[in-house]
Structure 1
Amino acid sequence: MVSAGEHVVVIGGAGFVGSHVCERLLRSGYRVTCVDSLVTGSVDNVSALRHNAGFRLVELDVTRPLSEWPEMPAPGSVLHLASPASPKDYQRLPIETLRVGAVGTENALELATRHGARFLLTSTSEVYGDPAEHPQNESYWGNVNPIGPRSVYDEAKRYAEALTMAYHRQRGTDVAIARIFNTYGPRMRGDDGRMIPNFITQALSGAPLTVAGTGTQTRSVCYVDDTVSGLLALWRSDLTGPVNIGNPHELTVRHLAEEVRAITGTASAITSVPGAVDDPRRRCPDITLARTKLGWEPETGLREGLNRTVAWFARHPGATARTSRA
């Protein structure tokens, strides 16, 4: 079980979701070592945390052998969030994405196993691919193209889940697997290629909002505070998972663009661009397991979450070029 005040290693902790996890843990009294290569993460995301005596940032590629990792206090938990997560990033870094899902996950599992620590893997709704079942629950095996342009991320996460369960079964590692659905909020990069930061940066600059394909494809979007609450509820539980963490409210991509346009007050047009290869047509989680076993469900409405996110981007016009390693 998770103990208050313990040392938690957050791998990928300078990323969008990871930085919010680090912040929440520190507020709850945990000591946090944030490990990040800063390839897609940013020191800006954790700059406000660095004055906290319980926080340490270690710039490190998680695929490096554990023997090369710096000394750190024995962790009570290891939370593995490291991976490029946007199509633009993982298609730019395909081999790195596969390696962090394979070698990086093995290193993180080894660290947890050696110290008897609880291990949380943040997997993804992408393991369901272009789903043939709707909504998606955890028993669905998915419909994934293993050689398509999205496969480097999809298969990296599917392998990471398989490796996590192998450690659990063979080595007795205390593990949990979360399958995160689309998450949005402050600290996203405006240039990471995902739809909500795209729409917001386009709207704030007066450019047309570009919708991929017809815009009738559906998504569910979860505000980052709710996603973090779901992840930490799973981490604190005794569940192995996998458990879907997402918002079950399904809406079209075009509707999201219209919401952003309304909130920003822009007169920008909404235009279509070619759809991505293997882009899922429908995506929506069944969160019955999270509701019944964790007592968790999203609390932030779409308009409230988008208002907060638009306000953050308006205050951070340089969010497309934040400090990172390319």
Structure 2
Amino acid sequence: MTHKIAILGASGYTGAELVRLISGHPNMDIVALSGERKAGMRMADVFPHLRHMQLPDLCRIDEIDFSDVGLCFCALPHKTSQEVVRELPASLKVVDLSADFRLRDPDAYQKWYGNPHAALDQQREAVYGLTEFYRDDIRGARLVAGTGCNAATGQFALRPLISAGVIDLDEIIMDLKCAVSGAGRSLKENLLHAELSEGYNAYAVGGTHRHLGEFDQEFSALAGRPVKVQFTPHLIPANRGILATVYVKGDALAIFDTFSAAYADEPFIEVLAFGDTPSTHNVRGSNFVHIGVTADRIEGRAIVIAALDNLTKGSSGQALQNANLMLGEEETTGLMMAPLFP
């Protein structure tokens, strides 16, 4: 069966990544692409690397006929997405890549994103889209909320450890390095080549990063009590990739064994040999996550390092993985491509 697919916000990085991934999917056909500011343009002119594909021209959202669309990916900015999703047909399956449906508590959403939620009915029905931990709920969902790319990386590095009780929940420090594509495609002065290259900087220091809302929600639910991690993201002069270095209090071998058991049957998660550490180079352009565990020189402490591609496993690849489940496809379809190297 061929599923007809629409992508809203196709002129951004995650939209383009969705098109790239779906091009290798045997059972999906892209029938509509929206890009409000680039409506009327050919996708080949917006993204020349996709010029070999036969794609519909970009259009406005209100020009799309959803009556024959099986699933819609929504790759729109925060706040815009909730307003659009609210007006989509109630029968349409939707995978949203923004932050608008990730947080279950409307007050938490307003705290982290600065505005009241405008689609509370849809927020209540949304399923959190971290596939490896919510796949049973995702299969039957109409609306799935993709995670933040930083939030996904940190959760892959911590969820099994919190569930198993092998670390001190009050002693978690996460140092995260993020590539520049995570900031989106809009022009920003601090992302100009001359201002970003040859250095890197911390941002959202002191607990102000919005993805902390996801960490608080998910880790506290797992533990059955409030869990707050120390988290500092850093912007690095690279196009793709996230590397999370997480410092925890616990036995390193027990932590390694916990990961090995938790991820043994996961097709996209590779637990490296004890003492090995991952690199963003080795997951670039793929839907894979690499996780390494090393003992610290201080007894009873360990270092967990997780790497993924923010545009693929951290966003669009995760979205396609979820869409496969929602449409009854094999979860890995269109996603088993090897990473790009060098």
- Alignment TM-score, normalising by the size of structure 2: 0.41
- Alignment TM-score, normalising by the size of structure 1: 0.43
Structure 1 or 2: more strand by fraction: 2
Larger RCO (alpha carbons 8 Å, 6+ apart): 1
Structure 1 or 2: more helix by fraction: 1
